[in-house]
Structure 1
Amino acid sequence: MSIRFVLASKSPARLKTLRSAGIEPEVIVSGVYEDDVTAENPGELARLLATLKARAVVANLSDHATVLGCDSVLEFDGEPYGKPETPEAARERWRMMRGRSGVLHTGHCLIDTSAKQELRELASTTVHFADLTDDEIAAYVATGEPLVVAGAFTVDGLGGPFVTGVEGDYHNVVGLSLPLLRRMLAQVGIAWPELWKTTSTYVYDETVASTYDETRGGVVRAEAAARAVDSLLPKGGRVLELAVGTGIVGAELVALGNLVHGVDISAAMLQHARVRLPGHVAAADATRLPIADRRCDAVVAVWLLHLLGNSEPVIAEVARVLRTDGVFVTTTDKSDASRYADDRGPDDNRSQDAIAHLVAVAARYGLVLDGATTFPGPTRNTGQAPTYPVLRFRRS
């Protein structure tokens, strides 16, 4: 069973920490206004804010999920300090902290709606600060980083050289304690590796995104793919492209007269897609689409399924959002292309985009194979062009 794991925080550092640990959460910002919240001490304030964030997100969910809310507060001389917000406040904060130590509290609230459990925990780490000069403080504040982070510092960014040491969990200072989260998940019956299995393993960073098109056939391959996909699409309907990537195929589909919306889990890839498909792309996991049932005329997946450890959750979501008689068009294992073209049976293997596997899984969700085509890729050094097969499944 797929686990819907939600991070109730807009913090890039928390998201990066989870991704580095093998988890790709769904991010839903709570909208809790922190300035109106008070507590008897800084630690309790952090825990209370985390709880309010998690509860706010859960209140707006329509299905079951495991939701993590976090909030960090720096305790200095017994007082709580969050984000300074203004340069003046940040400079004053650093003049107070330099050469001294504080305690970074991070509240964690985990709510599992299936188990109907709410856990509230606090992790605290002592942070030792360097004795910065006034010029160093001014230069750091001028970067803007300390204005938007709890305690006016980071250990994983520009502020790293100004932290001389930590006593406790390093990740807690970044934004959440991974060991604590692991223990909390275990209490609601979720083993940490289960989250590895239910999230995507391919989340492209900007290094890959910036060269993705040119290293994978560029516009030539995208045009060929789009023409093949377009030949299998209903005309005049709305098309949802999963793993839209840089938008290079989606843009070609638009040029062929389709109305295309795209989703992807990679923020780096979406930066490029927004240029090609302005206003028509969004961050979303293909296993948890933010779309109501039976809303899509067509769903497209180009070079996605072979990346997955398990393609069934994606196919199940496709079936859910497709209208009756809607179509799912996907690339498939190219090693099966010639066999299928010759009316021979495909290899019966467990590759997540193999024809035999896709047909069997799709059938479980009311999707029937009713069309196919192929397109050539760019010519290789051998002088031969690879052939890519494309399948169409129809929602019964």
Structure 2
Amino acid sequence: MKTLRSAGVEPEVIVSGVDEDHVTAENPGELARTLATLKARAVVATLTDHATVLGCDSVLEIDGEAYGKPGTPEIARERLRLMSGRSGILHTGHCLFDTTTRQEIRELASTTVHFAELTDDEIDAYVATGEPLVVAGSFTVDGIGGPFVTGIDGDYHNVVGVSLPLLRRMLADVGIAWPSLWDLPRVIEYDETEAARYDETRGGTERAQAAAEAVHELLPKGGRVLELAVGTGIVAAELVALGNLVHGVDLSPAMLHHARIRLPGHVTAADATHLPIADRRCDAVVAVWLLHLVPDSDQILAEVARVLRPDGVFITTTQKSDSSRYAGGRTQPDERPQDALAHLIARAAAHGLILDGATTFYGPPMPSTGTSPLYPLVRFRRSGS
């Protein structure tokens, strides 16, 4: 669920299999709460380990009638004509079941939604997208249907599918603090002194130029490039000098201070696992010396696949050879590195990113050994679907 992930919580999604069409209740709000309860209980019945399960279901109420997913274009058109220029109440039932304490909490959140007056052409075009067929009430506020909602009275997140303020209170009732659920990335903190010295301790401009030239070989020409963990912007600036349009994101304020000097107006603070970029907006995503720092690359790869256009490319450094690693005074890590090529190929493929190019480049000689480390660089292409 995008709403929970954006709030720092990584849920495990389990389909309940509940047949919604044969459930009735005395009013639309109670119907939403009943459906949420049935879904939560159905999932709990399948579990073998302790867990906290949240079931949710939404129903739109107009004139006292409950409207769920329309299912067919004909019903969707009829529903949208009914909603046009009017207001409805979006009810979302929430059922939280904590298997450790055996507590079940059932709640309802309701938000009034105001709809624009829609023309028949707008309704036909919207139905043709397929979106209103599979969502409660035949509309979304955070998708293609957003422009058709003129306002809401109440919790925005409730209209999207889960009320975050309500869920926070429900979790507190079973002894779970909301911050304890945050699935935040491990952040390597740099103070201003460390950031100022970072480039010179990592090979400086010579290494950045070598990296940028190798990346440039694998980039599509004339596209929009996003660099993850842009750091001080030293590699990105070299890519710009080679004729690329580059934007960068990073989590370190100290690093971004330097990156903004090199790339004014083209860097922002952001987490690579929750990019503030709409779907399919980038021609290329670049990650130079990032994946070996993270405990799990899967969320990053999922975001890369999301923001890439079909046939867009993801270019990243991968694990150095053993000889280079030992020359640098490092041994193999205890856990599988996330930039190990075999592991990376398998995880990338799960997100529609297929290996289709590679090159290498040398860094400047290391003072301790006099040898130049060899860096592998690979390109994955997003499947064109």
- TM-score (normalizing by structure 1): 0.55
| Alpha-carbon distance in 1 for matches of 2:74, 2:34 | 28
- Is the contact between residue 360 and residue 375 of structure 2 (CA under 8 Å) also seen in structure 1? no
User: Counterparts of 1:153 and 1:183 in 2: how far apart (Å)?
Assistant: 27
Alignment of 1:322-337 (within 5 A): none
Whole-angstrom distance in 2 between the partners of 1:175 and 1:101:
18
1:196 aligns with 2:266: no
> Aligned partners of 2:15, 2:103: CA distance in 1, in Å?
21
For 1:264 and 1:114, locate their aligned partners in 2 and report how far apart those are by CA, in whole Å: 32
State whether structure 2 residue 100 is matched by structure 1 residue 118: no
Say whether 1:379 aligns with 2:357.
Answer: no
State the match for 2:28 in structure 1.
42
Asked if 2 retains the 8 angstrom alpha-carbon contact of 1:130 and 1:164, the reply is yes
- 1:266 paired with 2:295, answer no
Describe how 1:1-396 pairs up with structure 2 within 5 A: 15-197=1-183, 203=273, 211=284, 215-216=287-288, 266=302, 269=305, 338-340=328-330, 378-380=360-362, 382=364, 384-385=372-373
Separation in 2, partners of 1:46, 1:336: 60
Q: Secondary structure at the match of 2:125?
A: helix
Distance 1:380 1:115, change over 3 A: farther
Letter in 2 for 1:143: T
**Residues in 2 aligned to 1:268 and 1:52: alpha-carbon distance in whole angstroms:** 35
Aligned letter for 1:187?
A: D
Q: In 2, Cα distance between the equivalents of 1:303 and 1:57?
A: 39
**TM-aligned CA distance change 1:89 to 1:31, over 3 Å:** same
Q: Distance in 1 between matches of 2:281 and 2:98?
A: 35
Following the alignment from structure 2 to structure 1, what is the Cα–Cα distance between the partners of residues 145 and 71? Answer: 16
Once the two structures are superposed, residues 67-108 of structure 1 have per-residue CA deviations (whole angstroms, 9 ceiling, x without a partner) of: 110000000110100011111111111111111110000000
Note if contact 2:172-2:178 (Cα within 8 Å) is conserved in structure 1. Answer: yes
1:133 is displaced (CA, Å) by 1.3
Which residue of structure 2 lines up, in the alignment, with residue 253 of structure 1?
Answer: none
Q: Secondary structure in 1 aligned to 2:132?
A: helix
Q: Contact 2:59–2:92 (CA<8 Å) still a contact in 1?
A: yes
Counterpart in 1 of 2:222?
none
**In the alignment, which residue of structure 2 is the partner of 1:227?**
none
Distance 1:54 1:268, change over 3 A: farther
Deviation at 1:16, TM superposition (A): 0.6
Q: Separation in 1 of the partners of 2:306 and 2:129? A: 25
Moved over 6 A (4+): 198-201, 204-210, 334-337
1:252-275 deviation line (CA, Å, top 9, x unaligned): xxxxxxxxxxx9983765999xx9
Distance 1:387 1:379 in 2: 5
Per the alignment, do residues 159 and 209 of structure 1 end up closer, same or farther by CA in structure 2, a change over 3 Å counting?
closer
DSSP 3-state at the match of 2:108: strand
CA positional deviation for 1:198 = 7.6
Identity percentage over the alignment? 62
Change (3 A) 1:336 1:41: farther
8 Å Cα contact 1:74/1:81 also seen in 2: yes
Residue identity in the other structure for 2:77: R
Q: Partners in 1 of 2:12 and 2:301 — Cα distance?
A: 9
What are the Cα deviations for residues 36-56 of structure 1, in whole angstroms up to 9, with x where unaligned?
Answer: 111110000000000111111
SS at match of 1:27: coil
1:111 and 1:265 map into 2 onto residues whose CA distance is: 31
Q: 1:168 offset after TM fit, Å?
A: 0.3
SS of 1:104's equivalent?
A: strand
CA contact (8 A) 2:281 2:307 kept: no
Root mean square deviation of aligned Cα: 4.0
1:385: Cα distance to partner?
2.5
Q: Read off the aligned partner of 1:183 and give its amino acid letter.
A: R
Quick check: 1:209–1:268 contact (8 Å CA) kept in 2?
Answer: no
- Cα displacement (A) at 1:59: 0.5
Task: Flag the 1:24–1:210 CA change in 2: closer, same or farther, 3 A.
Answer: farther
Per-residue deviation, 1:146: 0.7
SS of 1:26's equivalent in the other structure is coil
State the Cα deviation string for residues 166-204 of structure 1 (Å, max 9, x = none). Answer: 000011001110000000011111111100158887636
Whole-angstrom distance in 1 between the partners of 2:120 and 2:133:
17
Partner SS state of residue 266, structure 1: helix
- The one-letter amino acid paired with 2:302 is S
| TM-superposition CA deviations, 1:178-236 (whole Å, max 9, x none) | 00000001111111110015888763666699745x6459xxx99xxxxxxxxxxxxxx
Q: Cα offset for 1:338?
A: 3.8
What is the total number of aligned residue pairs between the two structures?
Answer: 250
Q: What amino acid does structure 2 have at the position aligned with 1:49?
A: L
Describe the shift of the 1:172–1:385 C-alpha distance in structure 2 as closer, same or farther (beyond 3 A).
same
Name stretches of at least 5 consecutive residues in structure 2 with no aligned partner.
187-270, 312-316, 336-358, 366-371, 377-385
CA distance in 2 between partners of 1:303 and 1:266 (Å): 18
Tell me by how many angstroms 1:134 deviates. 1.4
Note closer, same or farther for the CA distance 1:67–1:117 as it changes in structure 2 (3 Å cut): same
